[in-house]
Structures are given as C-alpha cells and as structure tokens.
Chains A and B, each alone.
Chain A
Amino acid sequence: MPLLEVSNMSHNFGGLRAVNEYNLAIEPGQIVGLIGPNGAGKTTVFNLITGIYRPTEGRIVFNGQDVTGHAPNRIASLGLARTFQEMRLWRHMTVLEHVKMACYSKFTYGLAGAFLQTPKRIREEAEVEELAFASLKMFGVEQFASHWPTDLPYGAARRVEMARAAVTKPKLLFLDEPTVGMTPEEMLAMIEVVRKMHETLKPAVFLIEHRLKVVSELCHRVQTLVFGQVIAEGTPEEIQNNPKVIEAYLGEEKVVA
C-alpha cells in the first residue's frame, strides 16, 4: 500500500482551475519529483495535500488514513513535513528554536510543564534540543543555532528550513524548490545534503524542482505538471526524452541547467 495516495484531486481558485484530476502514489522511502513550468500548479498541489487549501474534489489518503480537508497541523503530526518555496522562517526566533518548534506535537509535559519548571519539562526540552542540534548538524548549519533568521546567508536559511522539517523524522517530506536561486556549486552541495538525509532518515520525498539535474540525480520517478494537469510520468530518463515534456518546456531555459 502506498504511503500517500491522492486520487482525482482538483482545485479551483475562483474561475481558475489550478489543479485538475490529479493522481499520485508515493511508496515509503521513494523520492518523487514534480516538475513543470511556472504557474503550473505545483505549489498548489503541495498546499492541497498538506491541508493549507481544501481540495474542491478528490481524496487524499496518507498512511492509511483519509486526511482530505484535515487541518494542516493534524496532517503534519501524522508524519508529513514540508519546506516552503518562499521560505517561511519566524522573524523573532533563533534557528535552534525553529527546529525545536517543529517538535511541538512531541511534547507531553502539558500545561503544568508549560507554566512550571517540572522535571518532565526540563527533560523533554533538553531531549528535543539534542534532536534539534542533530538535525542542524545533518544539514551542516549547527553553527547558526543561536542566530536570527535575518542574519543567515541564503543557502543556510534554506538548510535551516529543511532541518526544521526533517527533525521529527517524518515519513514523508515535501521540498518546494530546494535549490531555487542557488549557484551551480550550491546546487550540487544541496543534492548531496538531500541524498545524505535520505540515506539516514529514509523518508519518502516529494520534490518540486525546476532543474532537471536535481531531479535526475535524486528522483526515482518524476511527474510533469502543465496547467494543473499531469502530462507525463516516469523515470527521469523517460521524462527527459518525452516529446510532450520537451514541448511544454520549449523556450524555458531553466530545464537545461
């Protein structure tokens, strides 16, 4: 049984059909890519599955459970973590606090622990801090632990976002354009980081990318989305040689890099 199964999902923004009859199945541990030109609806697919938008039609089953229309925090607690294309870090929290925050639903100390320094609170906060450091280390940004997000170099900020998403060892990790705006060297380093993370935590990964290099290095399977519609699906090689994909990308330079 797939870890994530989306069937016949559609979504309208007013009169715009942003996603149309979308289907997806991801097996545990698999890395699936989602490519497509700007405005194709890729981010919308992420937002629909993670519960930010409720799909107009369709069904989403995650880990055997129907999560269609559930609140984002509930879906996330089931083991689906994500990053954001536009990077959503919290302005007034340190990097370490960011990563600890992602463990919110793991804390069991309750109100007593929140209001008083109970031994349970002290222990759990310390344990989570250790987890958070380990996650920062995995993405090579532990030296920024006490920094504010505004003080981070761009690439480090992207990694912090990933460390925050990965700290809970999610079953499924959504990455929205992890290499956008990076130099080719930074991109290669990012590929290595994601690969290492996948080897250690073995999550399933669903990855939006514009650069075919990233997709072909990392993904087992790739979907191509155009105008909210999947026009092709297959291995990276199959997709690269698919005439429909080439046509959709005609004139787009990003795909070459």
Chain B
Amino acid sequence: MHQTTSTASHPRGSLELVRRFFANVPLLAWFCGALVAVILERAVGLSMAQSLGMPRIPVLFGFLVFLKQPALIPGALGYVLLMNILPICITAKIGAPVFNLVSRILYKMPLVVTALVHLAVLYAVFHFWADVNAYRMIMLKMMLISILLTLSLNVINGYMGEFSCSHPGFMALGAYAASLFTVGLFVNDQLFGPAMMTSDYAVVFFPLGLFFTGLVSALGALVIAIPSFKTRGDYLAIISLAFTFIIKSVLENLEFLGGPRGLSGQPDWSSLPMVFIIVVFGVWVINNFVTSTMGKALNAVRDDEIAAEAMTVDTRKTKIIAFMFAAFWAGVAGGLFAHVLRFVNPSTFGIQKLAEVLAMVYFGGLNSVYGSIVGAVSISLLGEALRPLEILKWIIIPLLLILVMIFRPRGLISFKEFNIHNLLKPRG
C-alpha cells in the first residue's frame, strides 16, 4: 500500500520513468491498443515479416526462434517492436484522453457492465491474435486453462498454506470424466458405440458436462481431505502425491478407458470463446471465494489455527470445502484440456504436470490472483520458448524457480488482493 506512494515521490531509474509516462493510460486503452496491434498484424503482418527477412509471422512474439533459428532473432525483435509494442503503446498513449473519457462513463455504470466491456475487448484481441494459425490457438487455450489450474492450486498451497500434489490427479479425473461424457454420448466411437445425442446443443451440454466433471474431481478430493485434515500436521503432501500416482496407474489399467494408450475422438468443443468464458468465470468465482470472510478463514487457519478456532472458525470444514472447491476447478480445467488436445492419456498427468503447475504457482506468487495469472502466463511462454531444449527445459525451469525463491520467497506477486475497481478505473 505505502509502496506506491513512496515510489511515486522517488523515481527509480528508467522503469519508473516509463511507469510515469503511462500513468494516465487506463486499462481500456491497453486493451484497445492490443486490439489495434492484432488487427494491424492481420493486415500487414506477413509482408512486414517478410521484409524483415522471415518466412512468416513469428508465432509467439519471437520466443520460438530464439533457440531454433538464432539468425532470425534481429528480425523477430524488430517485428515485435513494430507490430506489437509500438502500436500498443502509441494507441494507448495518444488515445489516453479518449479512453479515459470512455472509462469514466463506463465507471459510472454498474461494475458488471464495465467488466464485461473490458472482457469483450480482451476477447477480441485473443480472437484476432490466435486466428493467425493453429499453433497460436492451441497455445492460447492451454495458457488460459493453466491460469485456472494455477489459481485453483493457489487456493490450497497459497491461501490455505498447505502443500498439495494432487492437481494432476484431479485434472486427470476431469479430463477422463469429461471425455467419457462427450465421447460416450455425442460421438460415434468404437469404445462406446454410436452417438446417443446430437451435438447441436454443445454450448449448453459442454458447460453442464464440465460442471459434473468438476463434481467428480471434488469427490476425489474428499477422499484425500478426510484423512488429511483429521489432525494437524503435514499429511496432505504425501497423501496427495500418492493420490496422483494412484489415479495415473488406475487409468493405465482400465482397458475400457483405453489403458495406457488413452482416449481420443473428443469433439472440438473447447472453442476459444468456450475456454475464455469458463476460465473468466472460474477466476471470478475463485476470487469471490478468497475475498469473502468464509474464504478469508483459510488465511486465518494458515496464519494461526488456534486463533481461528477461538474466533468460531470451523477449521476442518473450511479446509475440506476449500480443497474440494480447488479440485472442482482443476477438474474443469482437465475437461477443457482434454477437448483442446482431443486426446488424453494417463502419462500426461504425472510428475511433469505437477512440476509445471507447482512452478506456475510458486513463480507467480502465493495468495494472489494476479500472481497466478502472471505465473501461468510466464511459465507457459517460457515452456514454449524452451521447447527445443526438450528435457533440459525441466532443468532450466526449476533453476529459474530456485532463483525466484531466493529473491522473492513467496513468488513474484504474492499476497496482493485482486482489486477490480482499481484495475478498471479511469486514470485522468
């Protein structure tokens, strides 16, 4: 809180100058700037890329060429500057007075309206950006899904302060439950026979199916929660790790689910709007929970359990509910995930997935919605950029994580409350 005031009166280097320069730019202007940039890219992106010596548009802000084709780095950097950074910054800064005017009008309306307008612009940005090629589309969907996954794990490992390793297990439950639902009912499949229902109402059935998917995961969570939260102590880490391994090996041995080969043929129902809406809704619900006094009870239990109990908090019930709630969203994320890849197999949900989601939580920051978003996005991007290194990637990411832990033990943006009013307010 006091940090903002002290930095405002004490400019710290060039970063602070940049911050001041853009201080009057509201969020809406940034989103609209991004929209201008992605539309511009559609119009002139390819010719710009070619004139900079690249065969096609760099798919991920040049991240991918860094290791694969170092010769293209200058071109990619130039492209990012000309097609992404400059259009966004120029639109945002020059348009700031206009966007502030619009923001002021929006700000007077109910918060829902303001938030929806912002989200609509954001969605348009995603749409135009990802429309360029299939790689971007999958990458973006996976990134959105990992936000949901990270934030739900943050509820347990951050807000509640326990250490859970069961997220891959919950995700697997969700992925398989959702696949069973869609492949079993809506698809002609050799495992489950002909379709029983038409997929005309996918927009209704899919979210409904995901809801039940989440409930399946939540029930799985109950199996862990009951023994783990019976007594004080650190049983959760070990029990939840066992859970992940058990789920994985059970799935490997269930022939009717495809065994180790897995399940495929999921319908293409994780469309971008579907993923976007469900992830946004999930983030909203989780944020509602952690800002309610019921959810704050998790912090109280974590910081001092005896005091929490003396203030009437039912610590066991609180922990069990939060744990099931987190599992619910991990299951939903798993269901979405299965329908992006349109293929699942048990080995996806092993120790590597666990490392990935833990990295996202601890890198981004404990006890923070912003942190989980930052963590999920940055580890996703980094993972893509380091992909050519294959297994070395799993040495570099943990090393990076260790560095973060040394300098910021709780992650980049920890213990910061998501403040929607502050985010959407006009700035001048």
Tell me whether A72 and B310 are in contact in the complex, defined as CB-CB below 8 angstroms, given that A88-B304, A89-B304, A90-B299 are known contacts.
yes
Q: Which residues of B contact A111 (CB under 8 A)?
A: 321
* Complex Cα gap A77–B312 (Å): 5
A76-B309, A90-B299 are known contacts; what are 19 more A-B pairs with Cβ within 8 Å?
A50-B310, A51-B309, A73-B308, A73-B312, A76-B312, A88-B304, A89-B304, A90-B303, A90-B308, A91-B303, A93-B300, A93-B303, A102-B311, A105-B314, A107-B294, A114-B292, A117-B288, A125-B292, A125-B293
Chain B contact residues: over half helix, strand or loop, or mixed?
Answer: helix
**Identity of the chain B residue whose Cβ is nearest the Cβ of A117 in the assembled complex:** B288
* Interface flag for B387 (CB, 8 Å): no
Distance in angstroms between the alpha carbons of A116 and B294 in the assembled complex: 12
User: B306 to chain A: which residues have CB within 8 Å?
Assistant: 52, 72, 84, 88
Hey, which chain B residues are within 8 Å of A71, CB to CB?
A: 309, 314
Are B303 and A114 neighbours in the complex by a CB distance under 8 Å? no
Number of A interface residues in the complex (CB < 8 A) = 39
Bound Cα distance A1, B299 (Å): 39
| B100 CB, nearest partner CB in chain A, Å | 27
A230–B289 Cα distance when bound, in Å, is 48
A93 nearest CB neighbor, chain B only: B299
Q: Which has the most chain A C-beta neighbours within 10 Å: B293, B303, B311?
A: B311
Tell whether A115 pairs with B289 under 8 Å between CB atoms, given A90-B300, A93-B300: yes
Q: How many residues of B contact A (CB 8 A)?
A: 29
Contact of A73 among B296, B299, B314 (CB under 8 A): B314
Q: Is B223 at the interface (CB under 8 A from chain A)?
A: no
B contact residues vs A (CB 8 Å cutoff): 1, 285, 288-289, 292-297, 299-300, 302-304, 306-315, 321, 325, 367, 415
| Bound Cα distance A227, B303 (Å) | 32
Could you tell me if A89 and B292 are in contact, using CB atoms closer than 8 angstroms? no
Q: Are B289 and A114 in contact (CB under 8 A)?
A: yes
B185 vs chain A, min Cβ distance (A): 27
Given known A73-B315, A92-B367, A93-B303, contact A82–B293 (CB-CB < 8 A) = no
Chain B residues with CB below 8 A from A52, complex form: 306, 309-310
Chain B contacts for A90, CB-based, 8 A: 299-300, 303-304, 307-308
